[in-house]
Amino acid sequence: MIVVKYYDGVCEANMSTADKCDVSVCANCGKEGCNLKSCMACKLVKYCSRECQIAHRSQHKKECRRRAAELHDEELFKQPPPLYEDCPICFLKMPADHSGRQYFLCCGKFICSGCTYAPVYDNQGNKVDSQKCPFCRTAFPKTTEEIVKRTMKRVEGGDVRAMYNQGNYYKDGIMGFPQDYAKALELFHRAAELGCAEAYNSIGYAYSNGQGVEQDTKKAEHYYELAAIRGDISARHTLGHIEGNAGNLKRALKHFRIAVQSGENESLERIKWLPIHKWACNKRRVHKSITYISSIFERY
Ligand SMILES: [Zn+2]
Ligand SMILES: [Zn+2]
Ligand SMILES: [Zn+2]
Ligand SMILES: [Zn+2]
């Protein structure tokens, strides 16, 4: 079969090679040509060779950084896609709050809490506590061992959520797993590479708290951003706090607004306090510690 290509309505056969390609000019030496390589960071200029790019660096650096930062912000402040698909039973939007959904190890599905707790009736109309997955009807695991066994099986099958959950078991040292930050991070990285936004958030948290890695606020922020771009609301909220505390109120507002649009309430509260964000943040911390201390006293 002969494939005839058309460029702007002109048949390929009637065009010279120069017409067919995107002719551009090297920003350093001025040489014209096809397929010049763009500067990866800013995509503003093109070069004929690596040498030309290096030679042009000092002139280009300032503009390149400005445009690269612009491109980064464009991506960062875009409203992200919802983190979860609609509930597979009722087809309603999955609630943003984690108490509004549940993960099922049997079929690897997230199901909204409404469908999870909806009463199930038998043929006679009697309410029964089915103890089965509302989607695939597999009986709930009864022991911790069974949960772990099902998790491991799903991890082997490449289930991203199961990987993330196992990472959390290692992080917290629960479900019979020893506390091991290195193993937790390994699982978080694996899950993150497969597209788990929450795993990126957990890596960010590990860097900001020095869990299994050296504390590094820059790296933490980088991972929070990766999580937020992929729709993690908690990371988005954290970024709002980071920008607010740094005095960048406009950027903080942008983050909080995106979080609110994704369905998070706490960020709405934060927007109210934005003009005095740092003060409100500290006051909240003081308030939190007072509540904590008084709760300890109440126990005795
Ligand atoms: Zn050149
Ligand atoms: Zn550049
Ligand atoms: Zn549902
Ligand atoms: Zn199921």
pLDDT tens digits for range 181-232 = 999 999 999 999 999 999 999 999 999 999 999 999 999 999 999 999 999 9
- Evaluated on CA atoms 67, 73, 78, 80, the torsion sign reads positive
Please give the distance, rounded to the nearest whole angstrom, from the Cα atom of residue 289 to the centre of ligand 4. Answer: 41
- Ligand nearest to the CA of residue 27, numbered in listed order: 1
- Ligand nearest to the CA of residue 29, numbered in listed order: 1
Count Cα atoms within 13 angstroms, Cβ side, for 28.
20
Confidence band of 161 (pLDDT split at 50, 70, 90):
very high
State yes or no: pLDDT of 5 exceeds 50. no
Q: What pLDDT is stored for residue 126 in this prediction?
A: 75
Q: Which residue is it, tokens 């409203």?
A: 79
Helix (H, G, I), strand (E, B) or coil at 74: helix
Angle at the Cα of 249 from the Cα atoms of 246 and 252, rounded to 5 degrees: 85
Please give the distance, rounded to the nearest whole angstrom, from the Cα atom of residue 45 to the centre of ligand 1. Answer: 11
Confidence band of 293 (pLDDT split at 50, 70, 90):
very low
- Ligand nearest to the CA of residue 71, numbered in listed order: 2
Please give the distance, rounded to the nearest whole angstrom, from the Cα atom of residue 135 to the centre of ligand 4. Answer: 5
State yes or no: pLDDT of 16 exceeds 70. no
How far, CA to CA in Å, does 155 sit from each of 152, 187, 209, 248?
5, 10, 26, 41
Confidence band of 6 (pLDDT split at 50, 70, 90):
very low
Please give the distance, rounded to the nearest whole angstrom, from the Cα atom of residue 83 to the centre of ligand 4. Answer: 20
- Evaluated on CA atoms 75, 76, 79, 83, the torsion sign reads positive
Q: What pLDDT is stored for residue 8 in this prediction?
A: 47
- Ligand nearest to the CA of residue 89, numbered in listed order: 3
Q: What pLDDT is stored for residue 287 in this prediction?
A: 57
- Ligand nearest to the CA of residue 40, numbered in listed order: 2
pTM, 2 dp: 0.79
Highest mean pLDDT among 121-125, 272-276, 296-300: 272-276
Please give the distance, rounded to the nearest whole angstrom, from the Cα atom of residue 92 to the centre of ligand 3. Answer: 6
- Ligand nearest to the CA of residue 28, numbered in listed order: 1
Please give the distance, rounded to the nearest whole angstrom, from the Cα atom of residue 109 to the centre of ligand 4. Answer: 7
Please give the distance, rounded to the nearest whole angstrom, from the Cα atom of residue 14 to the centre of ligand 1. Answer: 29
C-alpha 225/C-alpha 217 separation (Å) is: 12
Domains of the chain (ranges; CATH) run 6-76 (no CATH), 81-140 (no CATH), 142-225 (1.25.40.10), 231-300 (no CATH)
Helix (H, G, I), strand (E, B) or coil at 40: coil
Q: What pLDDT is stored for residue 119 in this prediction?
A: 65
Q: Which residue has the higher pLDDT, 108 or 269?
A: 108
Q: What is the mean pLDDT of residues 242-261?
A: 91
Q: What pLDDT is stored for residue 174 in this prediction?
A: 92
Please give the distance, rounded to the nearest whole angstrom, from the Cα atom of residue 110 to the centre of ligand 4. Answer: 9
For the chain, the average pLDDT equals: 85
